[in-house]
A and B are shown apart, each in its own frame.
Chain A
Amino acid sequence: MSRVIVIGAGLAGLVAANRLADGGAEVLLLSKGIGGLQLGQGTVDVLGYNPQRVTNPIKAVAEVAAEHPYATIGAQGVLTALGYLKELVPDLLVGDPEANYHLPTAVGALRPTCLAQPSMLAGNLKAGSSVVVVGLRRLKDFQPELIAGNLGRTELPDGGRVAARAINVDIAAREGEIDSSGLAFAHAFDVPAFRQQFADLLAPLLKDGEIVALPAVIGLKDRQAHSDLAAKLGHPVFEIPLPPPSVAGLRLNQALNARALAAGVRMVSGVRTVGFAADGDRILNVRNATVPAEREYRADAFVLATGGFEAGALAMDSYGTVTETLFGLPLVGTENTPLIHGDYWGAEQPIFSVGVGVDSQMRVLGNGKPVYANLRAVGDVIAGSTRWAEKSGDGVAAASAVLAADSILKEL
């Protein structure tokens, strides 16, 4: 059996590892921490703005500019990846690739996203509906007055508005704690008795026909927690993802990790991959910064899923020189100087489009040809998109990972 090493445990790394293992490869996943997926919203954004609000992401993917990663990946690549993601975690991600949801955020804006968790779907609001945003007094990261206020004054994508009001409930996630994290509440909501206690407090405060908005803390392990609570209340309920620690992000991270382990992926985490050896155009091995002596891992193919600047995969020094920090790969987008301009409220900073260029198999290009025949790059390290502004990061990550994995499997 051939071995493939995937470096990085975010969405791109986990999707690539799963896909490779499913295809029969022996997969070793190397990661510095446990991946940043749990810092996110637990949804899959494909394309939210181009720069107008996108309603059909697949249609919009087919129309991006030539330097955008989606131009290389193609709409079919995205469709395949979304189908695969839904198969990987069927009880956690649902959605139609051809229609974005517009889900309320923790500041009461409407965020376009493509796949979401079943517990969030009642937040895809229709004009004329009534929403009650329920805060937990002991959870400071969720302010119902702010959310309801903004939600009430927002025009829905299809026109029209919703009526929104805010209420608060005081319940202790655990005894003796006044200021609890979302995670402590999630553990509490995993327990049916706590859900009953909460429902008993909340039910009398609800008005007929109201849709209940809650922070996304309704259980971490118990996938029935949301539907059980909705049934107890007799109202539709939806979750709004919180800033980290994001329980919705944690659910997705845990589910994809568990799926990878079940598929036989071997994981070595907690150590940064810092070096490599190559023979001509082939990578032979990578080295982990294990202390006190580095460890070497050989493989037939490698997938670079190390992320962007925030993950340390790309770095800029004090001279303004940008580098890919593991393999020293050639970068595109560095010609747009200055990479950082001083108008911080102005146009997009050119630095955020910097990354590696890839071909249709996600091999990294230098002078128009693959730098290493057995190295693919996936996810945020790929140049050409400003993923947080256009909300494309998850789609690029998943689709590039599937394309890279499939092309490796064909070669092995």
Chain B
Amino acid sequence: MATEGLEFAGHSLSRASLDACVKCTICETQCPVAAVTPLFSGPKYVGPQAERFRNGESVDHSLDYCSSCGTCTLVCPQGVQIAELNSQARAVMKADHMPLRDRLIGQTVLMGKAMTPVAPIARAALNNKPIRKVMEAVVKVHADAPMPPPQSQTFEGWFRKRPTPAGPFPRGTVVFFHGCAGGYFEVETSKKSVEVLEHLGYQVLVPKQGCCGLAQQSNGLFAGATKDVLKLCDDLRAAGKDLTIVSSSGSCTGMLKHEAHEIMGVDDERLKDVGTRIVDMMEFLLDLHEAGELPTNFAPIGMKVPYHAPCQLKSQGIGKPALEVLRLIPELEVVDSGAICCGIAGTYGLKKEKYDVAQAVGKPLFDMVKATSSELALCDTETCRWQIEKSSGVKTEHPIFLIHRAYGLS
């Protein structure tokens, strides 16, 4: 069983990078989890080192404590796919005893669909200590872990009900990908992204779309995740060929760009097509600016805000585009957190047994955020925003909020 699990294209791809490891330990020094707990023996040990001894069986169970933030791969000077190897090995390790909790929290669409119609009740339930304690005991989701904020209206509901913009659309047409969180929970982020795109002169198409499968992937449920990501590719391709796909969900964008291929070995023309066309919202704006096509008649925003670049955005190899775009707003001072990770890493920090580790990982960031502003913090991905907001007490939004405001749209 376990041996079969390792025999897929993604693993061969990652394994091919194994011998490039020179044991320099750079990944060890940057790993946010190993820095705060001895429960994880570090990316080099469980990654390239342990991989040599894996013959279908797991040799180091501390692997389960890897948060899959991807920092090790990002910092490796030799191109070793450390995080990918670890995600793959963990999927195999967990295959015959996958916790029910890990199956459940991968079902992001289900959560959104269940909560939206009963948003006020869901909100109250998620803020209710006794209910959360029961949740912790039954499904092992930590009682203090951040939860998605249920909304009364989905993004799709808003998009379909509003008056259709008449145009003209001098910039042509783009497709908008909102992701599950952007559809059900972070509805404002999606709305503001669409409004900024339309303000710039784009016609925005929003095809009916499903989940990218990231939460399943990070929990080792590769079969379900592969099915979902390819279904999503079909959804997005249905909106039109060759159109740029813009997304305000940084982590889902990473799944489509490279994770589905590099971690799960999905080798499919549809994924390649979508992966090549999809851009992060702030990356899109920075590209426009570089081409001299971004209007910079921004109204001043006299604020100092902390900004945290999420791991899954950094892993895309595009730097920190939000920082560059936000710097175009007069009087706005944006302070880069410089922190490696907020700790949540998708669903990692929700889990009962990992909650304390995730909080320790994020502590320097939470302290930095609190010291920089009591009003607002910025971050590109949803679960990271929930984590930062819950743990620092500072309202945390997508950078598009300030772009939207600086264009006079809010």
* Chain A residues at the B interface, C-beta cutoff of 8 Å: 32-36, 38-39, 174-177, 181, 183-184, 187, 244-245, 250, 258, 261, 266-272, 288-293, 295, 298, 310-312
Contact = CB atoms under 8 A, between A and B. Distances in A.
Contacts of B28: 181, 183, 245
The interface centre, meaning the residue of A176, A271, A312 with most chain B CB atoms within 10 A of its CB, is A271
The interface centre, meaning the residue of B29, B35, B257 with most chain A CB atoms within 10 A of its CB, is B29
B338 interface: yes
A280 to B, nearest CB: 24
Given A32-B77, A295-B318, A311-B77, A266 B324 contact: yes
Interface string B52-82: 0000000000000000000001111111000
Contacts of B38: 174-177, 184
Contact of A268 (B22, B42, B319): B319
Given A245-B28, A292-B258, A266 B319 contact: yes
22 contacts: A33-B74, A34-B77, A38-B26, A183-B28, A184-B38, A244-B24, A244-B26, A250-B29, A258-B338, A266-B319, A266-B320, A267-B319, A267-B320, A269-B314, A269-B319, A270-B75, A270-B314, A291-B262, A292-B257, A292-B275, A293-B276, A311-B77
B326 to A, nearest CB: 13
Contacts of A183: 28-29, 35
Contacts of A39: 24-26
Contacts of B257: 291-292
Nearest to A307: B77
A34 B75 contact: yes
A270 B275 contact: no
Q: Chain A at the B interface: mostly helix, strand, loop or mixed?
A: loop
For chain B, the bracket of interface size reads 35 or more
B75 A271 contact: no
Given A33-B76, A261-B336, A290 B30 contact: no
Contact of A291 (B29, B42, B258, B290): B258
B309 to A, nearest CB: 11
A242 B320 CA distance: 33
A311 B324 CA distance: 29
Contacts of B318: 268, 290, 295
Given A258-B338, A288-B317, A292-B257, A245 B29 contact: yes
A171 B24 CA distance: 26
B24 A270 contact: no
A295 B316 CA distance: 11
A387 B230 CA distance: 52
B203 interface: no
Contact of B338 (A250, A261, A295): A261
Interface string B10-44: 00000000000010111011100001001000100
Interface in B71-127: 73-79
A38 B29 contact: yes
Q: Which 4 A-B pairs have the closest CB atoms?
A: A33-B77, A271-B317, A268-B319, A270-B74
Nearest to A3: B290
A38 B28 CA distance: 12
The interface centre, meaning the residue of B35, B261, B262, B324 with most chain A CB atoms within 10 A of its CB, is B35
Contacts of B317: 268-271, 288-291, 295
Contacts of B258: 291-292
A129 B38 CA distance: 39
Contacts of B316: 290
B289 to A, nearest CB: 12
B272 interface: yes
A174 to B, nearest CB: 6
A29 to B, nearest CB: 9
A407 to B, nearest CB: 26
B128 to A, nearest CB: 34
Nearest to A270: B74
A191 B264 CA distance: 41
B315 interface: yes
A115 B404 CA distance: 49
